[in-house]
Every structure is written in C-alpha cells, then in structure tokens.
Structure 1
C-alpha cells in the first residue's frame, strides 16, 4: 500500500500524536490498512479519528437525512397539495429520478431554484415557437411537468425543513452556508487523502480549511496523465493544482512518475463472460504464492462473482471486498415471480397459469413436507395437462402447503406484506445454507422497513406499487462477504480499490459500457443544462473511472486486462477505449492475447452399446412382449430402442401449451372409439351413420375427458384450431363410411382397439419364439373382406412394395430400411390376425388411414411379387439382428421422425 505508507510516514514525521487528526477518506475500506501500517511502524499513541467526506458534511450540516421509501412517502404527501389526481404508483415512476437530479442541483450549483426556472423557461420557449395543438402532447406534458416542479420542490424543501430533516442535496446545501464559520471555529486538523473528485461543497470545505491552515491534502497523481491535457483521467487533479491554496508555502502532494516505469501489461480477448473466469486459474499459476496478498482481482461486472469463486478452488485464502447483488439470488427471483403472479391475479382472478406457479414453488426453499406436496402437484397437472389451474383445484392440490396463502389473492396489500414478513421469519428456522439465510433475512428486513414506513401514511397502494418499493430497496442491497482484508487474494470492485495499490492486477470485463459506463445517466436534465450549471455529466463520470483505471495501473508491475469480445444480449463485445488508449498512447509494449472458448468441444462420437451378458438377459426378457412399435423404434434409432424398450427409461412428462401431434392423434382416436363402440358388430346402415354425424361434437368432448384435459385448453388459439380440425377429420371418416354404404357396400365394424397376442417363431423347428402384442385401431369387414386399419396422423409412406429384379438381394433386409416402417407394422398385424382369428391371408387387407389425407380413405399395403412367407422371413431377419450379441446398438447419425 505504497500511497498510504507515504501518507502515514509523513504524518508521523510532522505530528507526534495522531489522535489530534481527522483523517478524511473517500470510503471506509482504507481504514483497516492504515491501522495495520501504524501497527507495523510501532505507533503507540491513540488512533486518529477516521471519517468519510459524506459523514463530515452531514456533521457540518447537523440535519437528519431522509432517503429511500421514507422520502418518497413524505414527498408524495407534499405533492398531493400540488396535484391530488396522481396516485402513488404513478408518482414513483418519475420522482426517484427527479430526486437525484434535485440533489445534484443542490450539491453542484449555487441555486437549485435557478435550474428549475431555467427548465421551465426552456419549455416555454419551445412551446412559444410552435403550435401546441392537442392538449395531450409531449411538449405540453413537459411544460406542465416543470411548472409543477417549480411549485412542488420548493414546497417539499419547506416541508422537510419544518420536520428538521433533509435530503442528501439539502444537507450539502446547508453545509455550504456554514463552511466559513466552521473553518474558522473548528479546533480539529483534517487530513484529506486520495480524492479524485469533489462536489462544489466538498471543494469549498477543503479550500476553506486550507486557508485557515487546518487541513493537509494528499493526492495520488502521476505525470503521465497530469502533464497531458488530453488525458481525461487527470482532469480533476489538473484543476486542483491551480487552486490558489497551493503556493510557495504549501505543495501539491504528490505527483509521481510511476506510470511510465517498466510494466508487464497484457490484454486478453476472450469469447464469453464465463470464459474470463475460467482463464483465472491459469493467470494465478504464474503468480508466486507469496505475492497473492499483493494481487487484486477487480470485477467490473459484479454478476461474474459466482463464476469467479467457482474457478478459484485452488486458492487457499480469498478475501471478497464487494457484495453480491441481492436481486440475483434464487429467493429474490422467486419473490419477483410471486409478485408477478399476484399482479396477474389482479387482472384475472378466475384461474392460475401453470408457468406462473411452478417457478415459485421450485425456487422457494422447501422442507420435506412441502416438497412432497409440490411433487404431487406437478405430477397431477402434468398427467392432466392442466395449463390453467382453477382456484378450487389449486386449493385442493396445494392447500396444505405451508405458504399457500402467498399464492392466493390477498385481502389487501398490507395483509400481503404481513404474510411475507411471517413467511420469511418462519423460513429462517428451516434448514438453509448461509447464502439462502442471508437472502431471506435481507428480504424480511426490507418488508419490515416498508411496513413501518407505510404506517403513518394512509395511502392505498396496489401490489404493483408494493413491488416497485421492494425492487427499489432490493436493487440497492447486497450480501456482504466476511473475510480478512489484510491477507490473501483480494477480489473487489473498482471503487473499492481507492487509495490501495497492488503489485499484480487482474481486471475482468474491461468492456465499453463497463469501463467507463458511458452515457448511462438516468436524468431529466439535458446535457447542456447540466454543463451550464456545473452539474456532473457522463463526461465527468468517465474521467473519474479513467482516473481509477490509470491510478490502479501506475503502481503495479503486472497488469492483466480481460474483456469479452463476444457480442450477445446487451454486451457489444467492444473492448474499453481505455485499452485502446493504452495501446496507442502509453510508453508500454502491450501484449495482446486471444483466448478461444476453453470449454471442451462436444463429443461428436455416436453412442455405441455392446451386447454383454446383462444386455442379452434383458433382450431375452423382451422377447416375451414385443410390439410392432418396438421394431419401428429400432429402425429409427437402435439407441432409443435400447433405452426405452430394454432399459424401460421414459421421458418426463411436460405440460403442453399447444396440443402435441401424439395427443392430437389420441383426440381423434378416442372420438372415433366413442362413435363406433355402440355399433360394433352391426351391419352399418345409412341412418346409423347419419346419426353418428350428429354426435361428432359429443365425441370430441368425450375424447377430451379421456385425455384428462381441461375444456378451457381448447377454447382459444392453436388448440381451438386443432380441436376443430379433429372434428372435421372424425366427420370425414364417418362420411367416407356413409358414402360406401350409400353405394351398396356391406360394412361391419368387427372390433376397435383390438388387443393382439400371438407367437412368432424365429427358427424352422419352432423352438425359438417371441410373443407379439399390440392394439389394432380398427378391424372391419367390407364386402366380405376383413380390413385391419391403423390410424396415423402422418401421411402414408411406401405402402406399395416392389423389389423388381433385385428382389433376392433386397428382400432379406427389406425391413432394415425405416422407409418401410408402416409396412412392417401392418405385416405384423396381418400375421397376428390371420393366426389368431383363423382367417385366410388372402381374405385380409391391411391399411393406413391417415388423418392428413383422410378423404383418401384407408390406403392398403400391397406387396408385388412378394409372398407372405417371404415377408415373415424379413421380419425374422430384423429381430435376429436385434438379438445378435455381435451386433451392438449404435446411434444413427441422423434420426428422421
């Protein structure tokens, strides 16, 4: 800590007793380092008084600061005197931004009222020069806004002063009026250390104390950016040097020449944010262990902290001097989603959308009892494919959940706030890890703060407004880490590096928009007005960040600058201009390194499973129950066959927001079964079929019940269209049958969903057998011919099979080609029907009735110059390959579904 060492050394030379000094710092972090330095120098007196510049200003003002929710509520009460028509929710959309602008006016300008009047006059001039036209237009709204602000803000200042409270800006304004008297009367001696930016009030405080010889100043500056007027990093210090207080009797301390000394600077172009964290272990390997305590990792993007910590498992001692944003933790996300659910309930209270409920249940901490209730809930809504959950059903399935009340529409916002406080309090007694506990405890504190602040005010707030209040507090909260700042590898944000120096520096996310932040100010005051009245603009903010960057480098020996070169989301993939400035202007030879994604490439090898003894045993068990769909699955992909049919794995159920192809097929199947079941075994007549046409709607409703779907699922969007198409398909099938009967054909439906069980022998001696099973959608008799019909949602494919001159070559492996999967399935059905019902094969037809080509009717399977016995041999060959221990299950490169 070279800079702090120099300050303490000089103070000890000039002051025997440091207890008489007030050391004023930009932040509190350097205090612990100063204390260690005093210990190293064996200082035996009383410690000096440490104070931040904000604390000193507040002490000088003697006002009690009001901020956050307390200020918003107080201000809203005042604003109602100006405009009683705007509710609190609308007020919150603009006041926090305006309040920051107002504080800036009081901190950086002589008179905030002048700026308010300027803004009003500017809008008046704009409106004077053009026809305002409609009352409700942007110009008119801006004019009215600043007219109200010229009345509201002075009134708010007056109301606050009556209560002896003040905003941050008012505190600075009050302190400014007392500077002269304070500097004259104070008996304290102040030491200002390491400042690189001061407001108007702060600058005057320092200068007044210098004039009365009651202060010393120590700045950390370097010739590199002080002597070069183009360097924005030296902007503040170059102006400070010109103060009249620095003369022959008082020097400006200090301007060094460290930046131009030899340094090892490397920039790393990295593809992706997380990859930056993966690079860290490699960088740390090059740093000796004894130098780790002289090494700092500076995160310019706080969201990288979890990934960084995961990558530092080999580092023994890590100290984190930054908080992790509360808003990024899982419990925070669950609370956000809970509020979204409640807002949806305000809009429509009839049902719950499943995707609004599930994330809340999954992200909130749950004990075993709640976990079991949630698992049962998920299983039931997935089974029934419930997209919109009624209030009664939610109560039935989740009523015993410990926090069920949070999912219901509350009686009032205050009641909901009480429930949240109670929930967080009880949650802390459950098994939580440290981070979860801190997360919950922070939210409990936030909820209590809001409740206590709302009590004095009779404001009727909505759930949406409560959410805004909570977000405003949570967005500024972070979970602080406890560590040893004096030892180990240091992780910190850029502002935490103030006054500190490190031998080795690693910066992550050195991208434009992160360093510097650029023009990201949220303000109602235009750039030119800010510039005219001396308020900070993004240019001043950029120069502050530039100083932090260059100051950090100037005393370092090894500097590693990593930036994300990948453009995705809000990230532009553009490196910080500070890197470009270093490369073009600095005296250093900077090494540029490009790092590709360090993650291992995805293996392109196809899966392969050998048929060992255990697999063969499972295959022997499979022979007892073989379906045609098993063989079709094998044709698609042998690995899927092995996983699904041999190992009996199943894909997890998922709720369908849009009807799947499989359930669309089931919808038509069940509807046809409803219509045909009562007339099974009867010769169909015109009257019977015409009666069926009147029952199509009823059949679809029955099918929906069998699918366990809600009727609401089909009331709108694509599902309504699927339902109407299903009706048309069912109607067309009945009409097709009706046309046959009208033309004089005799049609009888013999069976529906006919279960088949038959033996199939793999050898001539009929000793090695398998057992086929399955369900045939429809068996009917048309003019004396038995038809085996399989319904398909897809179009028929390769139902006419002709092998031509290459028959002898192609026939043995006919069914090894998945183009003939439908032919394979129908062939198995024909074999089982002819054997189980003792029907001659020549009197049996097999066909596919496609819903996609429903008007074409059943399309028959037709083998040309291929005997049934030859077809059966081809089936045997396929099954023989599946059972062959020398043929492994291999994944197909392309799977065609």
Structure 2
C-alpha cells in the first residue's frame, strides 16, 4: 500500500499525536489498512477520526438527510399541492430521475431556479408560434412538466427547510454559507486523501481549510496523465494544481512517475462474459503464493462475482469487498415473482396462470407441512393439465398453506406488508444451515418494515405495482456483505472499492466499453448542452473520473491483466474499452495480446448402449407377458426409449401443455368418436342415426375433454381453440364419410370401440416359446360383410403395402422385414389382424385391417396391402423382430436422431 504508507510516514513526521486529525477518505475501505500501517510504524497514540467528505459536508450543514422512500413520499405530498391528478405510482416514474438532476443543479450551480427557468423557456421557444391545441401531445406535456417543476421544486425546498430536512444537493447549499466560519474557527486539522474530483462546495471547503492552514491534501497523481493535457484521467487534478493555495509554502502532494515504470501488461480477448472467469486459474498459476496478498481481482461487472469465486477455489485466503447484489439472490427472485403474480391478479383476479404460481412455490423456503401441500398442488395441476387455475380451486388446493395470504390479491397494502414481515420472521428462524439465505431474508424483512413505517403516516393510496417499485428501489441498492480478512490473501472488489489502494498484481474483468467507462448512459432530463452551460457533470466528466480510477489503479502495479468480452450479445457490443486502446497507442509499454478461443472440439456424445445382463433378461421375460403393437413400434423408433419405458417402466414426468399436444389432439378425437358410436354398437347404421350423431358432436367433444381431465376453458382461446375446431371438423368428416357409405347402399355395423384384445403368439417353430399380445383396437366394424380392424392415426399413413423385392431374396427379406421403422404402421396392423384371427367371434369372416388418418380423414380407411406373402410369413417376420428384442447378444442401442 505504497500511497497510504507514504501518507502515514508524512503525517508522523509532522504530528506526534494524530488524535486531533480528521482523515477524510473517498470511502471507508482504506481505514483498516491505515490502522495496520500505523501499527507497523509503532504508533501508540489515539487514532485519528476517519470521515468521508459527505459526512463532513452533512455535519457542516446541520441538516437531516432525507432520501429514498421517505423523500419520495414527502415530495409527493408537496406535489399534490401543484397537481393532485397524478397518483403516487405515476409520480415515481419521473421523480427519482428529476431529483438527481435537481441535486446536480444545487451542487454545481449558484441557483437551481435559473436552470428550471431555462428549461421552461427552452420549451416555450420550441413551441413559439405553434398552437398546441387541446389534445394531449408530447410537446404540450414537456411544456407543462417544466411549468409544474418551476413551481413544485421551490415549494419542496421550502417545506424541507421548514423541517430542517434536506436532499444531498440541499445539504451542499446549506454547507456553503458556513464554510468560511468553519474553516476559520475550527481547532481540528483535516487530511484529505486520494481525492480526484470535487463538487464546487467540496472544493470551496478544501480551499478554505488550506487557506487557514487547517488542511493537508494528498493526491495520488502521475506525470503520465498530468503532463499530457490530452489525457482525460488528469482533467480534474490539473485544475487542482492551479489552486492558489498551492505555492512555495504549501506544495501539491504528490505527483509520481510510476506509470511509465516497466510493467507486464496482458490483454485477453475472451469470447463470452462468464468465460472470463475461466481464465483466472491460468493467471493465478503464475502468481507465487507469497504474492497473493499483493493481488486484486477487480470486477467491473458485479454479476461475475459467483462465477469468479467458483474459479478461485485454489486461492487459500480471499476477501470480498464488493458484496453480492441482493436482487440476484434466490429469495429475491421469489419475492419478485410474487409481486409479478400480484400485478397479474390486479388485472384479472378470477384465475391464476400456473407458470406465475409454480416458481414462487418452488423457490420460497417451505416447511415440511407446506412442502407436502405444494407437492400435492403441483401434482394435481400437472395431472389435470390445468393452465388457468380458478380462484375456487386455488383456495381448495392451497388454502392450508401457511403463507397462503401472500398469494391472494391484497385489499390493503399495509396489511400485506404485515403478512410479508411475519412470513420473513417465520422462515428466518427455521433456517440454520444457509447464512446467505438468512441474510437475504433479513434484508427483505427490514425493507418491508421500513416501507410500512414510511407509508403509514401519509395515508397515500398505494397499488401493488407501486409497492413493487418502492421495494425495488430499496433492494436494488442493497448487497450481501461478505466477511473476510482484508489484510491477508487475495482481494476481490469493484473499481470504486480500490480507491487509495495499490497492488502489484491487478486483474480486471469486463474491461469493455459501457463498463469502463460507462459512456453516455446518464439517466437525466437535462440535455447535454444545458448541463454544459451550467457547469453540471456530463458523461464526459464521468468518463474522466473513471479514467482516473483506471490509470491510478495500474500505475503502481507490476503485472496487469486486462480481460474483455469480445462476444457481441444483448447489450454487450463486444468492444474493448478505449482505455486499453489508449495504453496500446500512447504508452511505451509492451503489451502482450492473448486471444482466449472459447471454441472447443465438438462434444462427441456416445450413443447409449444397454447390454442385456441377467437382470435385463429377467425383466424381458416379464415383458413377454403383455406385449402391445406400440411396444414393437417404439423399439423400431429407438430401442433405448423402448427399454426405459416398457422394460424398466420409467414413467414420463407430467408436464402442463399450454398448447394441445399431438398425442392429446388424437385422444380428443378418439374419445369423441367413441362416445358418439358407443350406443350404436352391433346395429346396422341408418341415415337417421347420422342425423342424431351430428347433433351430438358438441357433446362428444365436451365428453372427450372431461375424459382427458382437461378444463373446458383450456380450449376457449388461442391455438387450443383452433385445435378444438379442427378436431370437430375431423369428427364431422368421419361421420360424413360413414354416412356416405350408407347412402351409397353399403351395410355398416360398428362392432367394437377401444376393444381390448389378447392372444398368445408363438415366436419359435416348436411353439414352445411365446409372448402374449395385449392391446386396444380403436374400432372394429363390419362393412358389407368384411370385418375391418381400424386404427386411428393423427399422422399420415406410411408404407402399408408389403411386397417382396424378388423371389431370390424373399427369405432374407422376411427375416428383417419389420426391422425398418417405415413399416411400423404395417406391423401394428398385422399384429391386430393376427389377434382377431385367433378370436372365434371374428375369424369366420374375411378380415381387413387399415389406418384412418385424421390428417387425410376424407380419404377414409387406408387398408393394409400384403402382396406375395401369406399370413404365416408375416407372422414369421413379427416373430423375428421379437426374437431380436429378446436376443441376449443384441444390446439396446440408442438411435441417432436426425434433425431436419
């Protein structure tokens, strides 16, 4: 800590007792290092007082700082005297930005009302000679806005002063009039350490204290950017050099020449944001253990902290200064989703969208009793495929949940905050093994209490959406602070936390434009020219401040590693910071450029292969007791799927379908047609029957929906409504096709619907080994004396003709006939035909099997066409496939899925 050591050494040479000193720092972070250096210098007196310059200005002003929600509520009450037509939610959309602009006016100008009047006059000039009319438009809104602000802000200042309250800008103004007397009469000495930019009031305070010999200033400047007027890093320090207070009697301390000293600078071009952290282990492999405490990892993107910690597991001691943003933690996400749910209920409280509810229930910490209720609720909703949960069902299924009131739309915001507070208290004391979660919940508990205490006195009507904004304002600025040993090991910090500190090894991540510097990202209502004209900071001044922090950090270092994300994605342009380019072009340092290629060799995924062990063969023997045609077609599609589903009997997890799946679309038509024809089985159909059937189509669809355990509302909107209409059209087409057969003189009789059929099937010539076929035939009818076995399909028909290639390879073809996936429909029909041939009720008539495709419903039944083969040969081909499945030497191998 070269700079701090130099300060302490100089102070001890001037003062034997430091207790009367007030050391003013940019932040509290260096305090512990100063204390350590004092101890190393054998200082045994009382420690000096440590302050930030903001603390000093506020003490001087003598006003209570009002900020955050308290200021917003007070300001809104004042604003209602100017315009009482806008609710608090609308006020919050613009006031925080305006307040920052107003504080800038107060800090950097002599009179904030001049700026306000300028903005009003500018709007008047823009619209001079124009008739804005009575209609609402952007130009008229802007003019009215600044007209109101010229009345509102002076009134707000007046009412705040009456209570001795102040914003940060007002504190600067109040301190201004007291600076001269304070500097003249103070008995203390003030030491300003490591400052770069001051506001005018801060500058006046420092100058006055210097004038009366009550202050010492230590600047950490370097000739590289001080002497070169083109270097924006030295912009403010060059101005300080011109102060008349610095003369032969009182020198400007200090300007070093450290940046030009030899450095090892490495610039890493990395393809990806998180990928930057993967480079850290390689960098640390070249840093000796004894130099770890002289090393800092500076994160310009706070979101990289978790990934960085994962990558730094090899570092024995580590201290985190920056903290982890509260808004990125799991409990925070659950609360965010809870408020999103409430906003949805504000729009429509009659039902709950399942995707709004599930994440809340899954992410909030649940007791054992609550978890049981949650599991049952999710299982119930998934099994019934309920997308929109009615309020009644929601109450029935979750009513016993301990925090159920949080999921209901609140009638009173204060009561809702009470419920949130009690919920936090309840779960906080159940958590014993997760300190970070405990801290996360504790922060929210405090936030809810602050909001409740602030809201109650004002009696302002608050919507849930507004409450969410207030909570976000409090939470977004909060972070979980980590405890560590700041004097030993690696330091992980943000750029601002590095002020006054020096390290031999510096590693900066996310050195991209938009991160360093931030660029033109100011959130302000004041145009650039207005800010420039009145001396307010613009993005140019902010860039200069960041430039100074960057150069100051690396000027005393020996090894510098600068990593930037070269990948363009989202808001990231993949552009390295211009500060890197400046060093490359303007400095004399040799820079080593390293491209970290994130491209890797394609991952070779080995297809799954299951050997048929004794246990697998045993399960296959169980499978033989009930074999369906769909089992065999599943094997043809992918043997691993067959193994998992039908041998191991692994069930697919229930997933809610927001859009009707192909499978359930087919079921919808299946069940509806079954319902229609059920009462007409074993009856020759007449034209009168079809008139009745057509009138019952709507009822059949409702029956099918109930059979699927779906909600009727599921089909009332969007694509599901379209699917229902298509299903109805298919059903009517089936009825019309059958009716046309009867009209044309055919005799049609429905014999069975969803018929469960079983038959033993021998798989060897000796008929000593067999399987039991077991399945459901969608429809069996008799058309003009021919028994038809019909299988409904959603897909189009495929390869229903089976014929030999040639007499020469006929036997070989039979051996592997059904090994081809293209024949799976033909295989299914062949099995159904075989099973029905074993049934005495059907084998007396000619049998025909076919597919009725819903995709080609007007074509009717496409019959299985077996050419050149007799039934025994087809049965041999089926047996061959089954024997392949049972063959202990043929493993279950996953098929590579082809994507088009």
Bigger shift: 130-139 or 153-162?
130-139
Cα offset, 1:680, TM superposition: 1.0
8 Å CA contact retained: 2:625, 2:772: yes
Q: CA deviation at 1:130?
A: 4.2
Following superposition, the deviation at residue 894 of structure 1 comes to 2.5
SS of 1:836's partner is: coil
Matches of 2:580 and 2:612, distance apart in 1:
59
Alpha-carbon distance between aligned partners in 1 of 2:48 and 2:415, rounded to the nearest angstrom: 50
Q: What is the CA deviation profile of residues 65-98 of structure 1, one whole-angstrom value per residue up to 9, with x for unaligned ones?
A: 1111111111111111111111111111111110
Greater Cα shift, 408-417 or 163-172: 408-417
Q: Distance in 2 between matches of 1:896 and 1:770?
A: 35
Q: What displacement does 1:809 show? A: 3.9
For residues 716-736 of structure 1, what are the alpha-carbon distances to aligned partners after superposition, in whole Å with 9 as ceiling and x for unaligned? 111111111111111111121
Aligned to 2:660: 659
1:246 to partner: Cα distance: 1.2
Alignment partner of 2:652: what SS?
Answer: coil
Q: Which residue of 1 aligns with 2:430?
A: 430
The 8 Å contact of residues 234 and 547 in structure 1, kept in 2 or not, is answered as: yes
* 2:259 matches 1:256: no
User: Residue 836 of structure 2 aligns with which residue?
Assistant: 833
Matching of residue 819 in structure 1 with residue 845 in structure 2: no
1:757 aligns with 2:758: yes
How many Å apart are 1:64 and its aligned residue? 0.8
CA distance in 2: counterparts of 1:29 and 1:38, whole angstroms: 16
CA contact (8 A) 2:851 2:861 kept: yes
Pick the aligned partner of 2:862 from 840, 859, 862. 859
In structure 2, the CA distance between the partners of 1:514 and 1:837, relative to structure 1 (3 Å rule), is: farther
**Cα deviations by residue, 1:143-173 (Å, 9 ceiling, x for unpaired):** 1111111111111100001111111100001
In 2, the alpha carbon distance for the partners of 1:849 and 1:48 equals 92
Report if aligned partners of 2:414, 2:456 keep a CA contact under 8 Å in 1. Answer: no
Flag structure 1 segments of 5+ consecutive residues without an equivalent: none
Deviations 1:15-63 (A, max 9, x none): 1111121111101111110000000011011111111100000011111
Judged with a 3 Å threshold, the aligned counterparts in structure 2 of structure 1 residues 841 and 189 are, in CA distance, closer, same or farther, namely farther
Deviations along 1:582-615, one digit per CA (max 9) or x if unpaired, are 1111111111111123888533322222222222
Q: What is the correspondence of 1:153-232 to structure 2 with a 5 Å cutoff?
A: 153-232=153-232
User: What is the SS of the residue equivalent to 1:828?
Assistant: helix
Provide the residue aligned with 1:565 in structure 2.
Answer: 566
Alignment of 1:598-609 (within 5 A): 602-609=603-610
- Name the SS of the counterpart of 1:804 in structure 2: coil
Q: 1:700-756 deviations in whole A, cap 9, x for unaligned?
A: 001111111111111111111111111111111112111111222111111111111
Tell whether the 8 Å contact from 1:271 to 1:596 is kept in structure 2 after alignment.
Answer: yes
Q: Which deviates more, 838-847 or 317-326?
A: 838-847
Alpha-carbon contact 2:836-2:843 (below 8 Å) kept = no
Contact 1:275–1:598 (Cα < 8 Å) also in 2: no
Partners of 1:824 and 1:239 in 2: how far apart? Answer: 89
* Mapped pair 1:796 → 2:794: no
Q: Encode CA deviations 1:555-577: one digit per residue, 9 max, x unaligned.
A: 11111111111112222211111
Structure 2 residue 887 is the aligned partner of structure 1 residue 881: no
Alignment of 1:114-513 (within 5 A): 114-128=114-128, 130-133=130-133, 135-431=135-431, 433-513=434-514
The corresponding residue for 1:846 is: 849
Once the two structures are superposed, residues 512-539 of structure 1 have per-residue CA deviations (whole angstroms, 9 ceiling, x without a partner) of: 1111111111000111111111111111
- C-alpha separation in 2, matches of 1:51 and 1:664: 71
Measure, in 2, the Cα distance between the counterparts of 1:294 and 1:315.
13
* Deviation sequence 1:768-827 (CA, Å, 0-9, x none): 111111100001111111100000000111112223325344332111111111000000
C-alpha distance in 2 between matches for 1:590 and 1:550: 15
Instruction: Indicate if the aligned counterparts of 1:636 and 1:895 stay in contact, CA closer than 8 A.
Output: no
Distance 1:56 1:265 in 2: 39
Report the more deviating stretch, 414-423 or 614-623: 614-623
- Alpha-carbon distance change, 517 to 129 in structure 1, aligned in 2, over 3 angstroms: farther
Deviates more, 1:857-866 or 1:886-895: 886-895
Aligned residue number for residue 733 of structure 1: 734
2:19 aligned counterpart, secondary structure: helix
Q: In terms of mean alpha carbon deviation, does 5-14 or 265-274 score higher?
A: 265-274
Question: After the TM superposition, which of the residue ranges 151-160 and 886-895 deviates more from structure 2?
Answer: 886-895
- Note if contact 2:785-2:845 (Cα within 8 Å) is conserved in structure 1: no
Q: 2 CA distance for matches of 1:505 and 1:836?
A: 84
- Provide the residue aligned with 2:745 in structure 1: 744
Change over 3 Å in CA distance of 1:725–1:567 after alignment to 2: same
Corresponding residue for 2:28?
28
2:437 counterpart SS class? helix
More displaced stretch, 631-640 vs 490-499: 631-640
Q: Is the aligned partner of 1:103 residue 2:106?
A: no
Structure 2 Cα separation of the partners of residues 241 and 461 of structure 1? 52
Match of 1:70 in 2: 70
The answer to whether 1:780 aligns with 2:818 is no
Counterpart-to-counterpart distance in 2, 1:616 and 1:12: 86
**Does structure 2 conserve the Cα–Cα contact (< 8 Å) formed by 1:690 and 1:738?**
no
Residue aligning to 2:517: 516
SS at match of 2:773: strand
Partner of 1:706: 707
Tell which deviates more after alignment, 307-316 or 518-527.
Answer: 307-316
* Partner SS, residue 739 of structure 1: helix
User: Conserved in 2, the CA contact under 8 Å of 1:278 and 1:598?
Assistant: no
Q: CA 1:117–1:866 in structure 2 vs 1: closer, same or farther (change >3 Å)? A: same
- Give 1:651 deviation, angstroms: 2.1
Distance in 2 separating the partners of 1:395 and 1:840: 56
**Helix, strand or coil: the match of 1:847?**
strand
SS in structure 2 at match of 1:659: coil
Q: Which runs of 5+ in 2 are unaligned?
A: none
Report if aligned partners of 2:787, 2:845 keep a CA contact under 8 Å in 1: no
Q: How does the TM-score come out when normalised to structure 1? A: 0.98
How many Å separate the matches in 1 of 2:733 and 2:188? 98
Contact 2:299/2:510, CA 8 A, preserved across alignment: yes
Distance in 2 separating the partners of 1:724 and 1:858: 22
Judge conservation of contact 1:619–1:883 (CA < 8 Å) in 2. yes
Query: Residues 268 and 561 of structure 1 are in contact (CA less than 8 Å); yes or no, is this contact kept in structure 2?
Result: yes
Q: Residues of 1 paired with 2:175 and 2:548: CA distance?
A: 27
Task: Identify the range of structure 1 (638-647 vs 438-447) with the bigger mean alpha-carbon deviation.
Answer: 638-647
What RMSD in Å do the two structures reach over aligned CA positions?
Answer: 1.4
Seen in structure 2, the aligned counterparts of structure 1 residues 32 and 201 have a Cα distance that, compared at 3 Å, is same
Deviation track 1:601-639 (CA, whole Å, cap 9, x = no partner) reads: 533322222222222222222112211111111111111
What is the alpha-carbon distance in structure 1 between the residues aligned to residue 511 and residue 648 of structure 2? 51
- Secondary structure of 2:816's counterpart equals helix
- Superposed CA deviations along residues 388-442 of structure 1, whole A, max 9, x for unmatched, are 1011101111111110111111121122111111111111121251111111111
Residue by residue over 1:289-342, the C-alpha shift from the partner in whole angstroms, topping out at 9 and shown as x without a partner, is 111111101011111111111222222211000121111111111111111111
Per the alignment, do residues 692 and 135 of structure 1 end up closer, same or farther by CA in structure 2, a change over 3 Å counting? closer
Kept in 2: contact 1:637–1:895 (CA 8 A): no
- TM-score for the superposition, normalised by structure 2: 0.98
Q: Which residue of 2 aligns with 1:575?
A: 576
